[in-house]
Amino acid sequence: MPPHLLPKPSRNDSPALIQALLKENAILRKEIRVAREAAEITASLVVKQFEETERVLQKLQNANAQRKAVLDSATQIAIIATNMKGTISVFNTGAENLLQYRAEEVIEKATPEIFLLESELTRHREAISLVTGHDVKGHEVFLEYARQGRKEQQEWTYVRKDGTHFPAVLSISALRDPEGMIYGFLCIAMDVTEKKRSEKALAESEANYRFLIDNIPNIVFRGYADGSLDLYDDKVETMTGYKKELFASRQMNWFDLILEEDRPLARQKFIDALKSNKSYIREYRIRRKDGEIIWIEACSKIVCNEAGNIDFVTGSFLDVTERKRSEYALHESEQKYRSLFISGPNPIFVLDRETLTILDASPSAEETYGYYKDELIGRNFEELGTFEYENESLSLVESGNWTDSCVFSQRIKHFRQGGEPFYVEVKACPTSYQGRPAIILAASDITEIIEKDAQLFQTSKMTTLGEMSAGIAHELNQPLNAIKIGSDFLKKQIENCRPIPSNELHQVVSAVSIQVNRASEIIQSLREFGRKPDFRKEKVDVNATIKDVMKIIGQQLSLQNIKVVYDLDDSAPPILANKNRLEQVVFNLVTNARDAILNQTRTPENSGDNVIAISTWSEQRTHLNITISDTGTGIPEKNVQKIFEPFYTTKEVGEGMGLGLSITYGIIRDFGGTIKVESQPNGGSRFHLRFPSSTNTK
Amino acid sequence: MKKILVIDDEMTTLQMMKLFLGACGYEVLTAENADAGLEVFEKELPPIVLTDIKMPGRDVFSVLKMIKSIRPETEVMVVTGHGDKALRKKAFDLEAAEFFNKPLDTDALDAALKRIEKKIGIMPD
């Protein structure tokens, strides 16, 4: 009892009363003490309770923050919570990101059905209906899934706000209150587009890989220390004749297939690889089941474990028998050509196709040109002499305009070391040398042939000159005769002391002067004709050449009552030739024409004029034509083909060597020309020459 | 005045012959070819003819024959550039008086002319 509630003590109180009071007082004091203690305990309990509440509150706040953090941090995971009606109560940042809706657009306003395809929903509803035995409608499908506690993830097609789809795996959980009652469900969806893409890529890559393994000629293997061999396809059977299982089960050991003599090297390669970068390529022969020996190229990599021991060896086998065979053939062929290059009698050069720099030269080239190989290599081929192509122009080489055919050139003047000239005939073909476009060029020394040719030509000319000598003598005697008579007249008058009238004196000295000129001209043409041949080519005026020849033999022809008819085209272009040699051609053809006329027996029916007709004409300025026709005996058809052959002659033994037309033919061909003959017995012959004009030839 | 016919296809030779034979005292007739020569011969009938052996057109021997047939006593001298013995014989067979090579030896010509003159009895002026 609280003190103030105690009865007020009086004067009459007896000691008993006092006693009682004291007793009561003591009880009260005790009660007070107990009460105070109780109050103290209660207060501390309240404080504790309060503190506990605070702690719980704090925890709750933390949990909420955590929950929010979880929801927010899952930016690529859509977390959607609903109540029992399916209305969305939570829509996290991930859901916003993936589905393109704002949280406030859907919370309390929509159900998760709007993010899904109706067709899929229907299918799930039907499936779950079968399980539950009653119709599942609308969002109930989620509840049913949640209720069943189906944790396995299912793939759904999600629809974004813009209508686009993406695949997602969805897990649905029930939300339960502390009593375990379901008050909603939670959908967690993850976008698996990337995952699906990688899965697809992986599948494709695997398929490709498989395809590759199946289709490359290489056999992919993995070999183990115990000698077993894993093979990934059946190609090994085609290659060796043994089934792959035999290798996997160690019934067959690959190394045993290798020919005994090839094993040491193969083993060495392996050991070397082990010491270095662990990979190796080795070639060896194996014996197939059927006994045939084939070449294998094995590219392998040794794979070691962490301890540094060999784990396995992987790589591929390839049948390289064909390649080996071609390599061998190539090697043989190279050896063959190499020996030709080294021991061939003709100099051979390898030139850069662009610059014509010498890349290689054969020993014969060293010998012929008098330079050491080192001196030749790096030098420009054109330094060895004029590289003038006759028929084919060098520009063909320069322009790189090669066809399959080779370029051929006759008579190039080259110089040995020290400047001694010699002639070569060149044949050049495109090739490649050390990987770059090159020309392989063979140069045959034809100096001797040229010299022989020159001698023959000279002999032939001298023969012609011999034949012509009577005519020439006559030709020279004409002016000499006039000079002689004129000067003898002067002498006679002077000796007889007779005066010489100035007009007569003038007449004589003029005649002397003119006749001396005439004689010199004849001598000049003779000298030119008799000159040693020179194969240089220059622009030659064909008409002038014909006229020069006729200066020497024209007189003789008229003596023999042969009329020469000219029809020369003044505008004819020059040709690239050698005047002296062209003269020889005209000479030969005209003297042949003369002989054909002189050999003809004249009968009363056949009493026409003896005519040699010479004409020239230009053909579009690219070609020049010459015809020399006669009214002579003609050539029997059977002989027409033979007339250009050497030593063919219709003349009596001793009259001619039969080289005239053969030489003529050679000369014409040298100038890039052609010669054709039309002839009929007793109908005369017509020789037609055609040359490219100098503007047409390089 | 004694006449001489010279036949040669060389104009210069004809000119020189004309001067030379003129200096020898002849009236010199000239012709550039055989036909012209025959024409002049028929017209003038010179006692002496000097002809070149080669001539475009007609064969010199037929000229020789024709001259001889027109006037047999005509003295015909033949000049040739060849010096061919066969020709020389043929010319003599056709009664040529002389045969000369070119270049003409004028002393021999002088001598021949003198001999012919003596033979046919004419004297130059």
Q: Domain with A417 in it: what CATH number?
A: 3.30.450.20
CA of B95 vs chain A CAs: smallest distance (Å):
23
pLDDT, average across residues A157-183: 86
DSSP annotation of A202 reads: H
Residue A423 shares a structural domain with residue A487: no
Please give the Cα distance from A279 to A197 (Å, whole number): 35
Does position A88 have pLDDT exceeding 60, yes or no? yes
Chain A residue with Cα closest to B14: A482
Does position A651 have pLDDT exceeding 70, yes or no? no
The pLDDT of residue A65: 82
Minimal Cβ distance to B12: which of A470, A477, A511: A511
Per-residue pLDDT band for A222 (boundaries 50, 70, 90) equals confident
Does position A188 have pLDDT exceeding 90, yes or no? no
Per-residue pLDDT band for A391 (boundaries 50, 70, 90) equals very low
Residue A275 shares a structural domain with residue A377: no
The pLDDT of residue A399: 44
Contact yes or no for B47/B3 (Cβ under 8 A): yes
Q: Is residue A47 a part of any domain in this protein?
A: yes
CA of B123 vs chain A CAs: smallest distance (Å):
18
Q: In Å, what is the CA distance from A431 to each residue of A166, A344, A400, A403, A646? A: 62, 18, 12, 12, 37
Instruction: Return the closest-CA partner of residue A107 out of A93, A92, A88.
Output: A88
pLDDT, average across residues A43-67: 84
Peptide bond into B103 cis (omega under 30): yes
Q: Is residue A206 a part of any domain in this protein?
A: no
pLDDT, average across residues A537-543: 88
For residue A256, give its domain range. Answer: 216-326
Does position B115 have pLDDT exceeding 80, yes or no? yes
CA of A515 vs chain B CAs: smallest distance (Å):
8
pLDDT, average across residues A95-123: 87
Does position A304 have pLDDT exceeding 90, yes or no? no
Structure tokens at A124: 């799930």
Q: Is residue A517 a part of any domain in this protein?
A: yes
Per-residue pLDDT band for B53 (boundaries 50, 70, 90) equals confident
Per-residue pLDDT band for A397 (boundaries 50, 70, 90) equals very low
ipTM over 0.85: yes
CATH at residue A676 = 3.30.565.10
Domains in chain A, number = 5
A217-221, A356-360, A467-471: which has the minimum mean pLDDT?
A467-471
Q: Chain A, 545-574: which have a CB under 8 Å from a chain B CB? A: 558-559, 561
Q: What residues of chain B lie within 8 A of the CB of A511, using their CB?
A: 12, 15-16
Is A404 exposed, middle or buried (CB count within 10 Å of its CB: 0-12, 13-18, 19+)? exposed
- How big is the A-B interface in CB pairs under 8 Å? 72
Minimal Cβ distance to B81: which of A477, A493, A496: A477
Minimal Cβ distance to A493: which of B15, B16, B23: B23
Does position B46 have pLDDT exceeding 90, yes or no? yes
Q: Is A500 part of the contact surface with chain B (CB cutoff 8 Å)?
A: no
Chain B residue with Cα closest to A518: B12
Rg (alpha carbons) of chain A, rounded to whole number: 61
Residue A458 shares a structural domain with residue A441: no
- B16–A511 CB contact, under 8 Å: yes
pLDDT, average across residues A385-409: 52
Interface mutation target, options A468, A476, A478, chain B, most CBs of B under 10 Å:
A478
Residue A257 shares a structural domain with residue A295: yes
Q: What residues of chain B lie within 8 A of the CB of A504, using their CB?
A: 19
Q: Which residue has the higher pLDDT, A659 or A289?
A: A289
Minimal Cβ distance to A485: which of B17, B56, B101: B17
Residue A128 shares a structural domain with residue A258: no
Q: Where are the alpha helices (H) located in A216-295, listed in sequence order?
A: 235-240, 244-248, 254-257, 263-275
Please compute, for residue A317, the number of CA atoms within 13 A of its CA located in the half-sphere on the CB side.
29
Contact yes or no for A552/A521 (Cβ under 8 A): no
Percent of chain A with pLDDT strictly greater than 70: 88
A49-58, B2-11, B15-24: which has the minimum mean pLDDT?
A49-58
Q: Is residue A202 a part of any domain in this protein?
A: no
Q: What residues of chain B lie within 8 A of the CB of A558, using their CB?
A: 56
Residue A379 shares a structural domain with residue A469: no
The pLDDT of residue A326: 87
Residue A51 shares a structural domain with residue A78: no
Q: Chain A, 658-677: which have a CB under 8 Å from a chain B CB? A: none
Does position A152 have pLDDT exceeding 70, yes or no? no
Contact yes or no for A456/A659 (Cβ under 8 A): yes
Secondary structure in 3-state letters for A399-444:
HCCCCCCCEEEEEEEEECCCCCEEEEEEEEEEEEECCEEEEEEEEE
pLDDT, average across residues A3-13: 56
CA of B120 vs chain A CAs: smallest distance (Å):
24
Does position B123 have pLDDT exceeding 60, yes or no? no
Interface mutation target, options B20, B79, B107, B109, chain A, most CBs of A under 10 Å:
B20
Pairing of strands A685-692, B27-31: unpaired
Does position A323 have pLDDT exceeding 90, yes or no? no
Residue A297 shares a structural domain with residue A354: no
pLDDT, average across residues A661-676: 84
Residue A91 shares a structural domain with residue A107: yes
The pLDDT of residue A392: 43
Q: Which residue has the higher pLDDT, A413 or A366?
A: A366
- A489–B20 CB contact, under 8 Å: yes
Percent of chain A with pLDDT strictly greater than 90: 11
The pLDDT of residue A13: 58
- A473–B82 CB contact, under 8 Å: yes
- A3 φ, ψ (degrees, to nearest 5): -55, -40
Structure tokens at A561: 């009552």
Give the distance, in angstroms, between the CA of residue A529 and the centroid of all CA atoms in the same chain: 57
Does position A388 have pLDDT exceeding 70, yes or no? no
- A489–B12 CB contact, under 8 Å: no
CA of B34 vs chain A CAs: smallest distance (Å):
14
Query: A682's torsion region: left (phi>0), alpha (psi -120 to 50) or beta?
Result: left
Contact yes or no for A371/A417 (Cβ under 8 A): yes
Minimal Cβ distance to B104: which of A481, A507, A511: A481
pLDDT, average across residues A282-292: 90
Q: What is the pLDDT of residues A563-617, one digit of tens each?
A: 899 999 988 889 988 888 888 889 888 988 888 888 877 665 556 788 999 999 9
Contact yes or no for A260/A252 (Cβ under 8 A): no
Contact yes or no for A281/A297 (Cβ under 8 A): yes
Question: Going by C-beta distance under 8 Å and a sequence separation of 6 or more, which residues neighbour residue A540?
Answer: A574, A575, A576, A577, A578, A579, A582
The pLDDT of residue B125: 47
Q: Is the pTM of this model over 0.90?
A: no
Per-residue pLDDT band for A10 (boundaries 50, 70, 90) equals low
Q: Which residue has the higher pLDDT, A162 or A433?
A: A162
Q: What is the pLDDT of residues A364-378, one digit of tens each?
A: 888 888 888 888 888
The packing angle between helices A447-495 and A660-670, to 10°, is 110
> Which of A63, A84, A115 finishes a domain?
A63
The pLDDT of residue A398: 45
Q: Is A619 part of the contact surface with chain B (CB cutoff 8 Å)?
A: no
> Which of A445, A476, A491 finishes a domain?
A445
Q: Is residue A607 a part of any domain in this protein?
A: yes
Residue A358 shares a structural domain with residue A489: no
Does position A682 have pLDDT exceeding 90, yes or no? no
Q: Is A85 part of the contact surface with chain B (CB cutoff 8 Å)?
A: no
Residue A55 shares a structural domain with residue A87: no
Q: Tell me the average pLDDT of chain A.
A: 82
The pLDDT of residue A394: 44
The pLDDT of residue A396: 43
A14-23, A342-351, B42-51: which has the minimum mean pLDDT?
A14-23
Residue A229 shares a structural domain with residue A282: yes
The pLDDT of residue B63: 86
Does position A322 have pLDDT exceeding 50, yes or no? yes
Does position A400 have pLDDT exceeding 50, yes or no? no
CA of B43 vs chain A CAs: smallest distance (Å):
27
Contact yes or no for A152/A146 (Cβ under 8 A): no
Superfamily of domain B3-117: Response regulator (3.40.50.2300)
The pLDDT of residue B9: 84
Please give the Cα distance from A175 to A173 (Å, whole number): 7
Does position A459 have pLDDT exceeding 90, yes or no? no
Please give the Cα distance from A188 to A169 (Å, whole number): 8
